[in-house]
């Protein structure tokens, strides 16, 4: 297409031949010059903007040139390296370093942009975590602390830390681990992260914000391997076999220092990089299945169990306050499939369990929510423990100093689906009732305190079973007038007995007391008067029941013969007429 200036450039007809020749040479020179310059400006003809301004996308910066700007000055301004003018020129299809037309847009790729210092912030922390700064100063980390490039993070036993980067990527350092923030920077203008973490000991888990959108870089290096990502969730650990890589989401390029992209591991796979090779991809062990019943923990000792997984050597269990396990508060590693945790406050938590194989590769996590509600702790149950031989049952338990009152429940089943007694606001440590009848029952007690001006009931104590059996009784007693008096009572196999006769209903004046292996006794006729008798059974299982209700009987006057035998008639013993 003919340039527009050729339409407006004319040579006056009246000009001399010499003048005409000179003007035509100038025109040809101009055309030749234009055909050289215009292609070299490439897309600067298309991109126009306010001189001196720039626009930013994750992938690049577009700068709109000022007067006298060249590729060199632009490279120095945006990349800190004047020599980058050639790379910028190639991106913009400009072949030489010359003055850029005012307002022309020059694209600077994000990977060329200069870097500036960034930071990491302590997001979650448990136990004792040490930071050794670049200058060698050592300090104990706290939540909210700012960590700079060159700092080392060291966790001890049962200590954990999660740090958040400027793009919201998370770096979790589990117990017995050490990392070094070898590079902690962002690119100027786009603020794309440029992060390199050196794993010195233990393990590091990374949850990286997708870097494909901001053209950032994130690498975890170790003595033998490099793991580079573009937005993923993965773990890197040092073990006896070498460097273990485990990918949970996205993909990770892993390899040795000289071949950093030797293999791309997808989600669900891992490998081990040794001193001699980059190991093949291995399928990670599946997520363990928690056995039911863990959702509500009502004891200060938390208990969990999982179904065994084939090829699992050990299991790792972590308790955290968040579903992403970035705020870990306790951890256990065990060959057993059962886990117990202590010393946690009542709250909502998450448990994350993984299986670890013979390669020391940690598998896919199983994360489940649960609630710990173990306070105020319930009292200890005292009685009844096994059985009761009484129409009235007295429940007793230990006293809790912080209790405002107690709640007692009695049911006919261990699951307390059929509750027959539910009594709250009990201010004493015992309660008696005659409402239950005979049979097997279960009972439990909870402590109630006042919290925030409201009643706060803790968990119930473990249920205690007991049986209510028929109370011990005496067969009716009467004065037959005979010289020997016979007493008997109902009995069960294997029982022994204590029988007592007293002259007062309080049994303070004991007239007769004897342990027996049989359910009857004969004694010489007492003196005339009023007496009380009771019996107590000891069962074959050594359970000692209550005394039977005291039975009153009276020994009355009678006539006797010369040999002391009672004088009888057809109506019975002959007695004096009152």
Peptide bond into 372 cis (omega under 30): no
Whether domain 381-469 has CATH 2.40.50.140: no
Reading the chain (578 residues) residue by residue, the pLDDT tens digits are 334 333 333 334 344 444 444 434 333 333 333 333 333 444 444 689 999 999 998 889 999 999 999 999 999 999 999 999 999 999 999 988 888 999 999 999 988 999 999 999 999 999 999 999 999 999 999 999 999 999 999 999 989 999 999 999 999 999 999 999 999 999 999 888 999 999 999 999 999 988 766 678 899 999 888 888 867 899 999 998 899 999 999 999 999 888 888 899 999 999 999 999 999 999 999 999 999 999 999 999 999 999 999 999 999 999 999 999 999 999 999 999 999 999 999 999 999 999 999 999 999 999 999 999 999 999 999 999 889 988 899 999 999 999 999 999 999 999 999 999 999 999 999 999 999 999 999 999 999 999 999 999 999 999 999 999 999 999 999 999 999 999 999 999 999 999 999 999 999 999 999 999 999 999 999 999 999 999 999 999 999 988 999 999 999 999 888 888 888 888 888 888 76
Q: Tell me the pairing of strands 296-297 and 366-372.
A: parallel
Q: Which CATH number fits domain 116-283: 2.60.120.1440, 3.40.50.150, 3.40.225.10, 2.60.40.10?
A: 2.60.120.1440
What whole-number distance in Å separates Cα of residue 182 and Cα of residue 203? 16
For the chain, give every domain's residue range: 5-37, 42-112, 116-283, 296-371, 381-469, 472-578
Backbone phi and psi for residue 30, each to the nearest 5 degrees, phi listed first: -65, -45
By the 8 A CB rule, do 193 and 349 touch? no
Q: Which CATH number fits domain 296-371: 2.60.40.10, 3.40.50.2300, 1.10.1240.10, 3.30.70.600?
A: 2.60.40.10
What whole-number distance in Å separates Cα of residue 488 and Cα of residue 473? 9
**Sheet containing 393-397: which strands, arranged edge to edge?**
381-383, 393-397, 430-433
- Taken as a whole, the chain contains a residue count of 578
What whole-number distance in Å separates Cα of residue 445 and Cα of residue 428? 12
> 3-class secondary structure for 74-129?
HHHHHHCCHHHHHHHHHHHCCCCCCECCCCEEEEEEHHHCCEEECEEEEEEEECCE
Quickly count: other Cβ atoms within 10 Å of residue 481's Cβ: 21
Q: Tell me, what's the pLDDT at 46?
A: 66
Identify the bridge partners of residue 566 per DSSP, sorted by sequence position.
560
Please state the separation of Cα 542 from the chain's center in Å: 47
Radius of gyration of the chain (CA): 46
Identify the bridge partners of residue 554 per DSSP, sorted by sequence position.
530
Cα dist from 98 to 34, 69, 71, 95, whole Å: 15, 8, 7, 9
Homologous superfamily, domain 472-578: Immunoglobulins (2.60.40.10)
Same fold, 116-283 and 472-578: no
Cα dist from 127 to 120, 300, 323, 352, whole Å: 19, 19, 20, 19
Q: Tell me, what's the pLDDT at 418?
A: 98
Read off the pTM. 0.74
Give me the half-sphere count of Cα atoms (radius 13 Å) on the Cβ side of residue 402. 14
Backbone phi and psi for residue 423, each to the nearest 5 degrees, phi listed first: -120, 120
């Amino acid at each position: 297409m003919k340039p527009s200036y050729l339409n407006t450039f004319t040579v006056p007809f009246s000009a001399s031949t010499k003048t005409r020749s000179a003007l035509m040479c100038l025109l040809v020179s101009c055309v030749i010059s234009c055909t050289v310059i215009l292609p070299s400006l490439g897309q600067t003809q298309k991109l126009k903007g306010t001189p001196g301004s720039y626009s930013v996308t994750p992938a690049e910066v577009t700068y709109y040139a000022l007067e006298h700007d060249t590729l060199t000055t632009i490279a120095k301004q945006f990349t800190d390296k004047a020599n980058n003018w050639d790379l910028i020129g190639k991106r913009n299809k400009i072949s030489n370093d010359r003055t850029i037309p005012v307002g022309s847009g020059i694209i600077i790729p994000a990977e060329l942009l200069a870097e500036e210092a960034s930071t990491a912030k302590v997001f979650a922390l448990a136990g004792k975590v040490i930071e050794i700064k670049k200058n060698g100063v050592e300090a104990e980390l706290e939540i909210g602390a700012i960590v700079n490039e060159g700092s080392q993070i060291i966790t001890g036993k049962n200590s954990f830390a999660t740090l958040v980067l400027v793009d919201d990527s998370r770096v979790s350092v589990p117990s017995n681990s050490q990392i070094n923030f070898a590079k902690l920077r962002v690119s100027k203008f786009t603020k794309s992260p440029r992060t390199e973490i050196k794993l010195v000991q233990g393990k590091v888990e990374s949850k990286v914000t997708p870097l494909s959108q901001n053209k950032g870089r994130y690498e975890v290096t170790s003595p033998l391997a490099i793991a580079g990502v573009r937005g993923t969730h993965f773990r890197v650990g040092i073990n006896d076999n070498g460097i273990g890589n485990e990918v949970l989401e996205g993909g990770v390029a892993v390899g040795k220092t000289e071949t950093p992209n030797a293999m791309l591991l997808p989600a669900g796979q891992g490998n081990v990089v040794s001193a001699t090779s980059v190991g093949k991809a291995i399928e990670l062990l599946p997520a363990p299945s928690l056995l039911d019943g863990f959702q509500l923990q009502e004891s200060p000792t938390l208990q969990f169990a999982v179904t065994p997984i084939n090829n699992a050597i050990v299991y790792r269990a972590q308790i955290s306050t968040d579903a992403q396990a970035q705020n870990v508060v306790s951890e256990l590693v065990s060959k057993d499939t059962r886990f117990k945790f202590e010393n946690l406050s009542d709250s909502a938590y998450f448990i994350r369990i993984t299986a670890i194989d013979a390669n020391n590769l940690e598998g896919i996590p199983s994360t489940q929510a649960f609630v710990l509600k173990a306070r105020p702790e319930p009292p200890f149950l005292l009685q009844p423990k096994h059985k009761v031989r009484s129409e009235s049952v007295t429940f007793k338990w230990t006293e809790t100093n912080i209790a405002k009152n107690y709640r007692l429940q009695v049911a006919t089943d261990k699951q307390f689906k059929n509750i027959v007694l539910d009594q709250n606001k009990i201010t004493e440590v015992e309660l008696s009732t005659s409402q239950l009848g005979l049979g097997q029952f279960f009972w439990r007690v909870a402590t109630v305190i006042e919290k925030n001006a409201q009643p706060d009931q803790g968990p119930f104590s473990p249920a205690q079973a007991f049986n209510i059996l028929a109370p011990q009784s005496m067969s009716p007693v009467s004065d037959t007038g005979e010289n020997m008096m016979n007493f008997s009572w109902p009995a069960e196999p294997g029982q022994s007995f204590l029988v007592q006769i007293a002259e007062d209903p309080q049994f303070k004046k004991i007239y007769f007391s004897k342990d027996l292996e049989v359910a009857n006794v004969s004694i010489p006729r007492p003196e005339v008067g009023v007496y009380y008798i009771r019996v107590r059974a000891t069962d074959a299982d050594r359970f000692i029941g209550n005394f039977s209700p005291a039975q009153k009987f009276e020994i009355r006057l009678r006539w006797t013969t010369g040999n002391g035998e009672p004088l009888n008639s057809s109506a019975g013993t002959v007695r004096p007429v009152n």
